[in-house]
């Protein structure tokens, strides 16, 4: 980056850079982010009548495009440059551009603090970098999120370089496999790795004498005599395959062999999924608006995990021992449950043999609060006591300790950290969405956000849990490290400041092999293509709902119901940006003449709002509809639809050759986008977030920039015009969307990968346990000295309600 800065400051472009900085200073902006900087530079190029190449291809253009933050101080310019994905540099330039130098992260954080508070004081520095030194790390940023592949290669390289140590480690891992006192895989008769090698050869010879379909029970006496216990397979053929994998792994290790063998180890038979918020139940008890997507994800993941574990137990030959795997969703019990089952301690998970929902109540510090639903932004004071209360209930429920704890969202991940440590279990984190990226300057202005969002507790919890996890599942690569033009959700935790609270100098190792990208699945039985008409029993009723029915929760009567429908779905929030959607639609007469807008939200009236933010957004929506006189061109359905109704909504819009739009400012991995694509709708979705990894622009859907109204309008009208000229185009995009979801968003693949991660990372955790002790002490200190005081302040507020 020094070369590029020097190229600008030691050429004629220095004058342009100086004028550009002066122009920024004149508009009284001190702290600018990338989009603002690029917009201002585009205006500068236009005003100065620069050639087209100058905006991006000149040296100054390249430098401007690399700047993600700019701070203008008296006598200095501070730049945060993102030279490539997952790589940031900080630079200081004198105001007259005569000097420049790289600066440390600490210096940049101090400047950010001064921007908010002129008084500078000593502040706590959080730095996880020392704990990264002794752990393997990915080199190429393109491989971030492929942690399993990297770790397999790393372990096999280590096995080849030091076979005695690693074979001994593998032997110890196999030796400790058991379930409720029942030894699995190898018993006491095999007491060394050398004996293991010899016994495997003898077992292979013995098993080869039986027909491949011989049940394991027939083989058991002979294998036990050689030192082998159940778990190798349910038939002679399966046992032979597993033993042969182990023999090859011991002699000629490779990543593929390691993965294939470890995937067969019958470990992690008790799994708990932690989803704290509550309102987790069957079918229509799917969370509140702010957590609905997460709850649907958790229920589907739990069902498919349980089904996969049942199949694994059968294939491992353990069913004859009466071993039953179990998957349990841990959530909170809500006494005031509004007629649902959310006040019941235990509930069977439909579609499973041994899947459950276990509900544990929050302690009643103030029943007016704890007996009711609590927003995800207010839940922090209750998590530690919840974990303490849940632990013994889980043990009783499982009949033993859970082996794998999967956290969902920031609060569930923190509870998973507390539980996994207590049970000595493997911890998996799934963030779903990290709020830090969803609210602009949420760290820098945390004190202003604090009364409503309590980000000081949440961001601290995130730092603790993401660094404690044995492995992390992200839905997309962008969720971790963003794009060349945008910082990822996890990357935003790399370095940041919360003025007067703490500086994070190094908050996360983005190159850690703990990160793995695995998209979620979709309920294929519910969200199926529109042309499968034999199952569409709700079609007429949903068509009436979308275009004709009159109801207090429905706004608008369409002047022409035959115009092309544009469907938008989502709970009301600033991030989901329904106000931006209405403004965009209202400002385009051509679009309004061509299309109707169908907006489906969870509510429509201010009196229904559960948060001040939601109330403000509803008021703005009504005001914008009136401002642009959209009556007759919009249908706003503000009600909670049943799942079978919602799935049919997409298909009815597809019947009319409509389109789906996601206008969010940021979308981690939009469930509604996946549902729309599987139903056969062409999708126009925000380019900000992870959904761009499912959509291939122009092939099976389209990206839009919700801040660029003109470009979004052109994209949609151009598509519709092309469809008029070539009706097959709509069908082509529709078919490709369905195929894309079927290939890449599959629950069966998801849970197989998740269990493989648990087994590989469990092996890694066992052999590297001692190196994590210092990290655990550091995390404990952050929890007790930072997190708990922030949570206690929220609890004090709740006690006054």
pLDDT of residue 287: 66
d(CA 635, CA 567): 10
Cα–Cα distances in Å, from 130 out to 110, 331, 334, 782, 785? 21, 35, 42, 15, 20
Contact indicator for 662, 688 with CB cutoff of 8 Å: no
**Token pair recorded at residue 103:** 């600066």
pLDDT of residue 770: 56
**C-alpha 389 chain-centroid distance:** 27
Contact indicator for 116, 30 with CB cutoff of 8 Å: no
**C-alpha 335 chain-centroid distance:** 30
Per residue in 295-348, pLDDT tens? 889 999 999 999 999 999 999 999 999 999 999 999 999 999 888 889 999 999
Among the listed residues 515, 419, 517, 535, the one whose alpha carbon sits nearest the alpha carbon of residue 467: 515
Q: How many CB atoms lie within 10 A of CB 353?
A: 14
Contact indicator for 780, 786 with CB cutoff of 8 Å: no
Point out the residues of the chain with pLDDT beneath 70.
118-120, 283-287, 769-771
Report the topology of domain 271-520+756-799: Rossmann fold (3.40.50)
The residues facing 635 across adjacent strands are 598
Q: Which residues contact 769 (CB under 8 A, 6 or more apart)?
A: none
Per residue in 391-435, pLDDT tens? 999 999 999 999 999 999 999 999 999 999 999 999 999 998 898
Q: Which residue is listed with tokens 């935790």?
A: 493
pLDDT of residue 227: 94
d(CA 356, CA 306): 10
CATH classification for the domain delimited by 2-103, as one of 3.10.450.330, 3.20.20.70, 3.40.190.10, 3.90.1150.10: 3.10.450.330
d(CA 256, CA 502): 44
d(CA 669, CA 432): 8
Alpha carbons within 13 angstroms on the beta-carbon side of residue 481 total: 24
- Angle, helix 728-744 to helix 709-725, in steps of 10 degrees: 110
Sign of CA dihedral 281, 287, 292, 297: negative
For domain 143-176+186-262, the question of CATH label 1.20.120.1230 is answered with yes
d(CA 403, CA 271): 6
Q: Which residue is listed with tokens 């655990």?
A: 776
- Given the DSSP bridges, would you call strands 554-555 and 564-569 parallel, antiparallel or unpaired? unpaired
- DSSP assignment string, 611-633: SHHHHHHHHHHHHHHHHTT-TTT
Q: Which residues contact 164 (CB under 8 A, 6 or more apart)?
A: 193
Per residue in 119-153, pLDDT tens? 667 889 999 999 988 789 999 999 999 999 999 99
d(CA 397, CA 363): 20
Burial of 47: CB neighbours in 10 Å, binned 0-12, 13-18, 19+? exposed
d(CA 476, CA 673): 14
d(CA 7, CA 13): 8
d(CA 217, CA 205): 18
SS3 518: coil
Q: Which residue is listed with tokens 């629950």?
A: 747
The secondary structure of 266-330, three-state, reads: CCCCEEEEECCCCCECCCCCECCCCCHHHHHHHHHHHHHHHHHHHHHHHHHCCHHHCCCCEEEEE
pLDDT of residue 35: 85
- Angle, helix 612-627 to helix 578-586, in steps of 10 degrees: 10
- Angle, helix 255-262 to helix 147-161, in steps of 10 degrees: 110
Domains of the chain by residue range = 2-103, 143-176+186-262, 271-520+756-799, 533-745
Alpha carbons within 13 angstroms on the beta-carbon side of residue 452 total: 11
The helix or strand, by DSSP H or E, that contains position 749, with its residue range, turns out to be: helix 747-767
Q: Which residues contact 781 (CB under 8 A, 6 or more apart)?
A: none
Topology agreement, domain 143-176+186-262 and domain 271-520+756-799: no
CATH classification for the domain delimited by 533-745, as one of 3.40.718.10, 3.20.20.10, 3.40.50.2000, 3.40.50.10860: 3.40.50.2000
The residues facing 660 across adjacent strands are 567, 683
d(CA 165, CA 508): 30
pLDDT of residue 376: 92
Cα–Cα distances in Å, from 128 out to 97, 288, 436, 653, 765? 35, 35, 19, 50, 18
SS3 790: helix
Per residue in 728-777, pLDDT tens? 999 999 999 999 999 888 899 999 999 999 999 988 887 776 568 889 99
């Amino acid at each position: 980056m020094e070369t590029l800065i020097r190229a600008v400051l030691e050429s004629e472009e220095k004058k342009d850079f100086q004028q550009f900085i002066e122009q920024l200073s004149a508009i009284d902006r001190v702290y600018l982010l990338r989009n603002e900087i690029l917009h201002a530079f585009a205006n500068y190029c236009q005003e100065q009548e620069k050639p087209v190449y100058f905006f991006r291809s000149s040296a100054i253009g390249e430098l401007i495009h690399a700047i993600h933050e700019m701070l203008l101080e008296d006598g200095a310019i501070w730049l945060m440059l993102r030279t490539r994905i997952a790589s940031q540099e900080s630079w200081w330039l004198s105001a007259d551009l005569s000097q420049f130098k790289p600066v440390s992260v600490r210096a940049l954080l101090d400047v950010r603090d001064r921007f908010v508070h002129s008084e500078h004081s000593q502040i706590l520095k959080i730095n996880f970098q020392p704990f990264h030194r002794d752990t393997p790390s990915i080199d190429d940023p393109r491989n971030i999120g492929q942690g399993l592949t990297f770790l397999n290669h790393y372990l096999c390289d280590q096995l080849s370089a030091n076979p005695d140590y690693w074979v001994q480690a593998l032997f110890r891992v196999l030796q400790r496999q058991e379930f409720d006192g029942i030894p699995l895989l190898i018993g006491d008769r095999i007491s060394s790795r050398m004996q293991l090698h010899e016994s495997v050869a003898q077992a292979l010879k013995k098993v080869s004498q039986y027909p491949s379909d011989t049940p394991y029970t027939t083989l058991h006496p002979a294998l036990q005599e050689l030192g082998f216990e159940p778990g190798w397979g349910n038939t002679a053929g399966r046992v032979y395959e597993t033993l042969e994998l182990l023999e090859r792994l011991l002699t000629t290790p490779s990543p593929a062999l390691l993965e294939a063998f470890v995937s067969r180890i019958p470990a992690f038979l008790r799994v708990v999924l932690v989803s704290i918020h509550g309102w987790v139940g069957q079918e229509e008890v799917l969370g509140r608006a702010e957590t609905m997507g997460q709850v649907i994800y958790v229920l589907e993941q739990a069902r498919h995990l349980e089904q996969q574990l049942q199949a694994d137990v059968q294939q491992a030959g353990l069913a004859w021992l009466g071993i039953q795997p179990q998957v349990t969703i841990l959530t909170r019990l809500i006494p005031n449950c509004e007629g649902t089952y959310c006040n019941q301690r235990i509930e069977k998970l439909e579609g499973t043999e041994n899947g459950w929902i276990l509900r544990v109540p929050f302690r009643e510090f103030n029943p007016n609060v704890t007996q009711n639903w609590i927003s995800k932004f207010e839940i922090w004071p209750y998590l530690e006591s919840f974990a303490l209360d849940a632990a013994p209930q889980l043990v009783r429920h499982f009949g033993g300790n859970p082996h794998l704890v999967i956290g969902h969202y920031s609060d569930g991940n923190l509870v998973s950290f507390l539980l996994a440590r207590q049970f000595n279990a493997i911890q998996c984190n799934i963030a779903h969405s990290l709020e830090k990226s969803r609210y602009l300057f949420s760290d820098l202005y945390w004190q202003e956000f604090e009364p409503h969002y309590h980000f000081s507790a949440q961001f601290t919890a995130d730092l603790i849990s993401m660094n404690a996890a044995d492995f992390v599942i992200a839905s997309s690569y962008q969720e971790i490290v963003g794009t060349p033009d945008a910082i990822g959700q996890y990357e935003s935790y790399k370095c940041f400041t919360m003025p007067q609270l703490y500086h994070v100098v190094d908050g996360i190792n983005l190159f850690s092999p703990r990160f793995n990208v695995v998209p979620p699945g979709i309920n294929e039985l519910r969200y199926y293509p529109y042309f499968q008409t034999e199952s569409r029993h709700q079609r007429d009723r949903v068509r009436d709902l979308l275009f004709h029915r009159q109801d207090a929760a429905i706004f608008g009567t369409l002047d022409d119901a035959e115009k092309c429908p544009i469907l938008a779905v989502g709970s009301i929030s600033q991030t989901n940006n329904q106000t931006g959607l209405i403004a965009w639609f209202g400002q385009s007469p051509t679009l309004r003449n061509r299309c109707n807008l169908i907006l489906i939200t969870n509510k429509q009236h201010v009196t229904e709002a559960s948060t001040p933010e939601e109330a403000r957004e509803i008021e703005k929506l009504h005001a914008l509809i009136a401002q642009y006189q959209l009556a007759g061109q919009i249908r706003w359905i503000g009600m909670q639809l049943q799942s079978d109704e919602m799935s049919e909504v997409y298909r009815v819009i597809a019947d009319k050759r409509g389109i789906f739009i996601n206008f969010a400012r940021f979308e981690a991995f939009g469930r509604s986008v996946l549902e729309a694509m599987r139903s056969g709708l062409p999708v126009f979705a925000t380019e900000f977030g992870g959904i761009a990894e499912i959509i291939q622009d122009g092939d099976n859907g389209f990206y839009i920039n919700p801040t660029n109204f003109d470009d979004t309008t052109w994209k949609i009208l151009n598509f519709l015009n092309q469809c008029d000229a070539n009706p097959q185009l709509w069908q082509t995009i529709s078919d490709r969307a369905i195929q894309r979801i079927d290939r890449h968003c599959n629950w069966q693949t998801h849970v197989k990968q998740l269990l493989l991660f648990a087994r590989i990372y469990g092996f890694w955790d066992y052999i590297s346990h001692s190196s994590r002790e210092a990290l655990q002490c550091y995390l404990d200190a952050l929890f007790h000295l930072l997190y708990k005081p922030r949570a206690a302040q929220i609890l004090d507020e709740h006690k006054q309600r």
